[in-house]
């Protein structure tokens, strides 16, 4: 079997995901991804004619993200019409899954040069006429009465005994680490600026971080999901909190601890990673930075929804013949503070090994684009620290998780 080599990767800055406020909110998501693709081409110097697919993750798939945004962005970038693109959806893990599928094509010997990408402009919410994760399927709802993710995060905190101070302390750490990383220029290697159509700079830095965040400042924020948890939607007989209590009778009630300061930020952005076979890389003078060691996905109970990063990581480690101690750095998406705290608790990962550059609480989580961003961040950090291996994992909607192990070459 051949190897799937990571040649390089780039990402856009993360812009605030609010219409007419965020710096990327007026730029079509196709255009944001197109500029990222061209930024990757310019950085590496490959011929787009040789790219056999642009596999793109996206969580929306409607509105401005519709009609196979992976292909449309490739055309918008001015790449040859012979370069195909495909779009997939595994909720928050879509971009990481795109990199996995790109690697699989190479590992199977079917392809030699593939891009794994992701994009999401959260300032452009997709039109929806569904009740949420069950998409108006009453039969599915009877089996799994899926609830908003923020309440799932609060349920995890309640079951695991994570206090408001615990999750706030994690939120402060994310901000402090992101601030230090920005000051030290750790993100510059992967960052490409995004421009308006008239050539004016739109954004060249991450827009979401809040430097100077403290426990005291977070203590003043009200829980974001308490009222939502008590609300009984029209046509339903139970609130989300009651659903949690019915499914997990060991709790007296859901303790709501998450808010904007300890949950992932709403942002716009795109990212892309170039993968190649060893033969192609050698023949075209491309120097790889890392290889994909193993990937995995996992499913867990879908109402609590956000507990699968640990199981996905454990599968990934087992299939790779590795243990937690073999991993130098972990990059776990900070969807909510309790998600990372549970991962650490279950796998025994210390603070000094996990999300050392900060994460989505400080930087933001542009849903479909986050996976490749996490891979790029941890690869840059492996090189900075002269370390070897990293594991990247994410929770996704519907009670799933994605995981990838990479190794420098």
According to DSSP, the residues that pair with 204 across neighbouring strands are none
> How confident is the model over 64-121, as pLDDT tens digits?
999 999 999 999 999 999 999 999 999 999 999 999 999 999 999 999 999 999 999 9
pTM, two decimals, is 0.98
Q: For 233-251, what is the mean pLDDT?
A: 96
How many other β-carbons are positioned within 10 Å of the β-carbon of residue 294? 20
The confidence score (pLDDT) of residue 134 equals 86
The confidence score (pLDDT) of residue 235 equals 87
The confidence score (pLDDT) of residue 138 equals 92
Round the average pLDDT of the chain to a whole number and report it.
97
Q: For 134-155, what is the mean pLDDT?
A: 95
Q: For 213-219, what is the mean pLDDT?
A: 98
Percent of the chain with pLDDT strictly greater than 90: 96
The answer to whether residue 261 scores a pLDDT higher than 70 is: yes
The confidence score (pLDDT) of residue 128 equals 67
Task: State the catalytic residues.
Answer: 92, 365, 395
- The long-range contacts involving 75-80, CB below 8 angstroms and separated by at least 24 positions, are 76/30, 76/31, 76/33, 76/34, 77/33, 77/34, 77/35, 77/37, 77/38, 77/48, 78/34, 78/38, 79/37, 79/48, 79/51, 80/48, 80/49
Kindly tell me the burial class for residue 189, based on how many C-beta atoms sit within 10 Å of its own C-beta (0-12, 13-18, 19 or more).
Answer: middle
- Categorize the per-residue pLDDT at 238 as very low, low, confident or very high, splitting at 50, 70 and 90: very high
The answer to whether residue 295 scores a pLDDT higher than 80 is: yes
Kindly tell me the burial class for residue 160, based on how many C-beta atoms sit within 10 Å of its own C-beta (0-12, 13-18, 19 or more).
Answer: middle
* Phi, psi dihedrals of residue 216, rounded to the nearest 5°: -65, -40
- CB of 14 within 8 A of CB of 284? no
> How confident is the model over 347-363, as pLDDT tens digits?
999 999 999 999 999 99
The answer to whether residue 129 scores a pLDDT higher than 70 is: no
Q: What share of the chain is helix, strand, coil (3-state, %, to 5)?
A: 40, 20, 40
The confidence score (pLDDT) of residue 130 equals 66
b/e map 37-69, b = 16+ CB within 10 Å:
bbbbbebbebebeebbbbbbbbbbbeeebeebb
Which ranges of 184-292 would DSSP assign to H, the alpha helix?
Answer: 215-219, 226-230, 240-247, 278-283
H or E stretch at 6 = strand 5-11
């Amino acid at each position: 079997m051949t190897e799937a080599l990571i040649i390089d990767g780039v990402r856009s800055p993360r812009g605030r995901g609010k219409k007419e406020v965020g710096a990327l909110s007026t730029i079509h998501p196709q255009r944001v991804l197109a500029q990222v693709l061209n930024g990757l081409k310019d950085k590496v110097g490959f011929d787009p004619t040789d790219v056999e697919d642009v596999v793109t993750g996206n969580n929306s798939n409607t509105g401005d993200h519709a009609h196979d945004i992976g292909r449309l962005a490739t055309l918008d970038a001015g790449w040859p019409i012979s370069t195909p693109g495909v779009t997939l959806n595994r909720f928050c893990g879509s971009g990481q899954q795109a990199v996995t599928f790109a690697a699989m094509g190479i590992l199977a010997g079917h392809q030699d040069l593939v891009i794994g990408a992701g994009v999401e402009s959260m300032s452009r919410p997709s039109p929806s006429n569904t009740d949420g994760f069950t998409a108006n399927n009453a039969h599915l709802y009877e089996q799994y009465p899926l609830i908003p993710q923020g309440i799932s995060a609060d349920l995890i905190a309640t079951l695991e005994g994570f206090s408001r101070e615990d999750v706030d302390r994690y939120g402060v750490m994310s901000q402090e680490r992101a601030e230090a990383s920005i000051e030290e220029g750790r993100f510059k290697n992967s960052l490409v600026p995004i421009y308006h159509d008239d050539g004016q700079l739109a954004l060249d830095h991450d827009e979401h971080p809040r430097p100077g965040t403290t426990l005291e400042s977070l203590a003043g924020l009200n829980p974001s999901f308490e009222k939502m948890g008590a609300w009984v939607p029209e046509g339903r007989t139970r609130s989300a909190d009651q659903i949690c209590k019915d499914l997990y009778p060991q709790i007296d009630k859901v303790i709501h601890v998450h808010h904007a300061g300890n949950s992932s930020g709403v942002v716009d952005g795109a990212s892309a990673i170039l993968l190649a076979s060893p033969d192609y890389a050698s023949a075209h003078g491309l120097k790889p930075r890392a290889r994909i060691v193993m990937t995995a996905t996992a499913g867990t109970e879908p109402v609590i929804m956000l507990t699968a990063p640990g199981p996905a990581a454990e599968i990934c480690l087992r299939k790779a013949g590795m243990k937690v101690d073999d991993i130098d750095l972990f990059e776990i998406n900070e969807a909510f503070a309790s998600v990372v705290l549970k991962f650490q608790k279950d796998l025994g990962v210390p603070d000094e090994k996990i999300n050392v550059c900060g994460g989505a609480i400080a930087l933001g989580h542009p849903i479909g684009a986050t996976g490749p961003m996490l891979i790029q961040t941890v690869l840059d950090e492996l090189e900075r620290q002269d370390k070897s291996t990293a594991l990247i994992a994410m929770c996704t909607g519907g009670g799933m998780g994605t995981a990838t192990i990479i190794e420098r070459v």
